Amino acid sequence: MSSREKILQQVKLNKPAETVLPTHYTFNSGYKDTEEKFKEILQAIYTEVIIVESKEHLREKVEEMYVDVVNKATTIPELASWADFSLQVADPHDLELIEVAILQAEFGVAENGAVWISDNHLQHRVLPFITQNLAFVIPRNALVNNMHDAYNRLSDTTGWGCFIAGPSKTADIEQSLVIGAHGARSMVIFLVEN
């Protein structure tokens, strides 16, 4: 008998009496202002939220924020000429030099500041992790209250996706919080009007 069969057989034999799934398992978070909550939570996890009126405004903002930076990459068509690092690489290891990446993402979650990004928005899964600094661009109206709403909204059928909430961090040395463990050292979220 294979290990698979052994395990399944033993499980079948030993499993407890049947119970049913709860039918109601989602909850509402009646925030007065979803965007305010989103901003407040992100501020607490060292992430700036910037509201821009349009992609042109985004471009102006970005140019002013990353003046002397080299190795800038983006997936936003309107920022293509701002970037100086092409994402057209065959091997994801080549992305190692990227200093800042500005990436389109799908939506944000107010209760925890997480943003959903997936294969839908990326050629290279490692990009949001390997870049030294990270910025997400999402539509201003693409915010949900909590994780139940987030999974309701999630229609992603791609092979990989991630909720990312703030920059990478660790507190493994005496519980002192340090930003920039393995992933991005800083995070900015642009909310674009319309």
Partner 1 sequence: MSKVVIEHAEASETFNKDESYVDWHDETLWFVRKKRDISSKLLPEWEELRETASQIKNYVLSHMDDLLETFEKNAKANGIHLHWAVDAKEHNEIVLAILKQHKVEKMVKSKSMLTEECHMNEFLIQNGIEVIDTDLGERIVQLRQEPPSHIVLPAIHLKKKDIGDLFHEHLGTDAGATDPQYLTEAARQHLRDKFLTRRAALTGVNFAVAETGGFVVCTNEGNADMGAHLADVHIASMGFEKIIPLQSHLGVFLRLLARSATGQPVTTYSSHFKKPREGQEMHLVIVDNGRSTQLGRPDFKNSLKCIRCGACMNTCPVYRRSGGHSYHNAVAGPIGSILAPNLDMTKNADLPFASTLCGSCSNVCPVKIDIHDQLYKWRQVLVQGGHVPQAKEIGVKAMSMVLSQPRFYQWSGRLGRSVMRTLPFMVNNSLNPWFKQREMPEPPKESFRDWFVRNRK
Residues between 122 and 161 that touch partner 1 (CB under 8 A): 124-126, 128-130, 146-148, 150-152, 154, 158-161
Q: What is the C-alpha separation between 31 and 39, in angstroms, rounded?
A: 13
Q: Which of 119, 122, 132 is nearest to 167 (CA)?
A: 132
Q: What is the C-alpha separation between 180 and 170, in angstroms, rounded?
A: 8
Q: What's the Rg (C-alpha) of the chain?
A: 20
Nearer to partner 1, 29 or 55 (CB): 29
Nearer to partner 1, 3 or 88 (CB): 3
Shortest distance in whole angstroms from residue 173 CB to partner 1: 4
Q: What is the DSSP letter of 10?
A: H
Among 89, 97, 170, 193, binds partner 1 (CB under 8 A): 170
First to last CA, the chain: 60
Among 68, 77, 81, 174, binds partner 1 (CB under 8 A): 174
Question: Which of the residues 97 through 126 are near partner 1 (CB under 8 A)?
Answer: 109, 111-114, 118-119, 124-126
* Size of site (CB under 8 A) for partner 1: 74
Only one of the segments 1-9, 52-60, 65-73, 80-88 lies at the binding site for partner 1 (rule: CB under 8 A); that segment is 1-9
Q: Which of 54, 46, 82 is nearest to 140 (CA)?
A: 54
At CA 72, angle to CA 118 and CA 133, rounded to 5? Answer: 65
Question: Which of the residues 2 through 61 are near partner 1 (CB under 8 A)?
Answer: 2-4, 6-8, 10-22, 24-27, 29, 41, 45
Per-residue CA distances from 166 to 4, 41, 135, 173 (Å): 40, 10, 10, 20
Nearer to partner 1, 113 or 192 (CB): 113
Q: What is the C-alpha separation between 141 and 2, in angstroms, rounded?
A: 52
Write the single-letter amino acid at 178.
V
Site string for partner 1, 74-93 (x = CB under 8 A): ------------------xx
Shortest distance in whole angstroms from residue 37 CB to partner 1: 11
Nearer to partner 1, 62 or 114 (CB): 114
